[in-house]
Homo-oligomer: A and B are copies of this chain.
């Protein structure tokens, strides 16, 4: 599995992945021009996308239908350099009629414990916590 970033100008790079191009840049505060997202946050998207795809595909196999589904990942960084992720909270939000909270909990734990390679990569360094919300209600 390969990725590449090619310097454009200033702090901007073209990221190349799976045949797609994504412009990344730094914020204006650190000399960028804000032409694209900053690179550190891509780790959050990588985690959210990885577990999100696991969960939607497991739910499909379980014949659980959802109207909407989103995964937020909220990271807190170390105060000192290197500013690594200390904690990432993953929130799984679903809406729909007749969503079994037991099946959703099972799908999320299968992703977190068994399938999501990004979670497994981050685990030793980052405290990973998660929450499930179905139709606005937090599920324990």
- A39-B15 CB under 8 A given contacts A82-B115, A125-B124: no
Q: Are A37 and B22 in contact (CB under 8 A)?
A: yes
Q: How many copies does the complex hold?
A: 2
Which residues in chain A, 78-118, are within 8 Å of chain B measured between CB atoms?
78, 81-85, 113-118
Smallest CB separation, A87 vs chain B (Å)? 11
Which of the residues B19, B24, B81, B124 comes within 8 Å of A49, measured between beta carbons?
B24
Smallest CB separation, A40 vs chain B (Å)? 6
Measured between beta carbons, the chain B residues less than 8 angstroms from A6 are 68-70
Which of the residues B49, B114, B124 comes within 8 Å of A42, measured between beta carbons?
B49
- A15-B45 CB under 8 A given contacts A82-B120, A124-B124: yes
Which of the residues B11, B17, B50, B85 comes within 8 Å of A121, measured between beta carbons?
B85
